[in-house]
Structure formats: structure tokens, C-alpha cells
């Protein structure tokens, strides 16, 4: 179980995968953002008995608002204990996400090194965080033009 870590940046999301509605909460660790941070705490739980639209209505009725809506096609692979997701996101186009789940923040540095080693062996380079933040801000501003489409933008 995670020990308590101070984090002020929290995002709440809903997700539907294979017809199952899920509530997702992400909190930043350190200076990372909860939206795109490299290191963050995350809870993702199915909501039994709730359909996706019902879950969204509940979250909105609790006073939250949409920052943006996202659509993507995802393929997920496992390489040892690292998950690799290949996504085709509306707006972003194709990207790969590498994730290692740990239960104690003490292991963060080791997990990061393992992911870096795997990415290097695949000859992949991480997208710089500042560019990712610019892309995220652009998508949030214009998401209705991209959601549910194959349209892609480029932000340097």
C-alpha cells in the first residue's frame, strides 16, 4: 500500500474499457502534473452497476466539469512487469506509453531506470515533458474539434 505522499494536483476521470465504466483518480508526486506526470499515484476502479453515462452524470453532479474528453484506440502489451500501451489518440496521433506499477514510492527511481532501459533497447526517445504540456494545453482548448476523429495536430 502507498504511504501518504503530499500532492496538490489531483485529476478525476471516467473511463470505459470493454463496456466497463471506471472511476480514475490521479495525483501528482513531486513537481509532476496529475495529468501527464511521469511519476504519479493512480487509482482506477470499476463501478459496479453503473453504466458509463450514469457515472459521468454522477461526477458532473458532484461539481466537477470536463477539462476535455479524450478518444483513443489502445493496444496493451506486457514486457515483464512493464505495461506498454500503443495508442492512437484523437489530436495526438500515435504514441506509446510505458508504465510500471509499484506499491511504494521508494521504488520510483528503480522503476524509472527499468523503463528507460526498455525504451533505449527499443530505440525510443521520451517526448519532452514541456512539449507534452503544450500539446495537452492545446488539446484542452480545442478538444471538441478532435474528440472522436482521426484529426491530428502538431505542437512543437
Instruction: Report pLDDT digits (tens) over 134-143.
Output: 999 999 999 9
pLDDT at 75: 94
**Residue 28: is its pLDDT beyond 80?**
no
Query: Is residue 79 predicted with pLDDT exceeding 80?
Result: yes
Residue with cell 502538431: 154
pLDDT value at position 40?
Answer: 74
Q: Homologous superfamily of 68-156 in CATH?
A: Hypothetical Protein Pfu-838710-001 (2.40.320.10)
Are 47 and 23 spatial neighbours (Cβ–Cβ below 8 Å)? yes
Q: How much is the average pLDDT of 49-75?
A: 92
Distance CA 81, CA 101 (A): 8
**pLDDT attached to residue 139:** 96
- Using the 8-state DSSP alphabet, how is residue 2 labeled? P
Higher-scoring residue by pLDDT: 101, 90: 90
Domain residue extents for the chain: 1-66, 68-156
Considering only CA atoms, which of 38, 40, 39 is closest in space to residue 25?
Answer: 40
pLDDT of residue 145: 97
Measured distance CA(86)–CA(144) in Å, rounded: 23
If pLDDT is split at 50, 70 and 90, which confidence band does 106 have? confident
Amino acid at each position: 500500500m502507498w504511504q501518504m505522499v503530499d500532492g496538490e494536483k489531483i485529476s478525476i476521470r471516467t473511463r470505459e474499457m470493454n463496456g466497463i465504466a471506471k472511476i480514475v483518480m490521479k495525483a501528482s508526486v513531486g513537481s509532476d502534473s496529475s495529468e501527464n506526470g511521469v511519476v504519479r499515484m493512480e487509482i482506477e476502479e470499476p463501478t459496479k452497476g453503473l453504466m458509463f453515462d450514469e457515472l459521468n452524470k454522477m461526477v458532473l453532479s458532484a461539481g466537477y466539469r470536463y477539462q476535455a474528453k479524450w478518444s483513443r484506440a489502445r493496444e496493451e502489451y506486457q514486457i515483464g512487469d512493464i505495461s506498454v500501451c500503443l495508442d492512437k489518440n484523437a489530436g495526438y496521433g500515435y504514441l506509446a506509453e510505458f508504465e510500471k506499477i509499484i506499491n511504494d514510492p521508494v521504488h520510483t527511481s528503480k522503476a524509472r531506470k527499468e523503463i528507460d532501459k526498455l525504451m533505449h533497447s527499443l530505440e525510443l526517445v521520451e517526448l519532452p515533458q514541456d512539449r507534452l504540456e503544450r500539446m495537452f494545453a492545446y488539446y484542452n482548448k480545442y478538444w471538441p474539434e478532435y474528440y472522436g476523429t482521426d484529426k491530428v495536430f502538431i505542437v512543437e
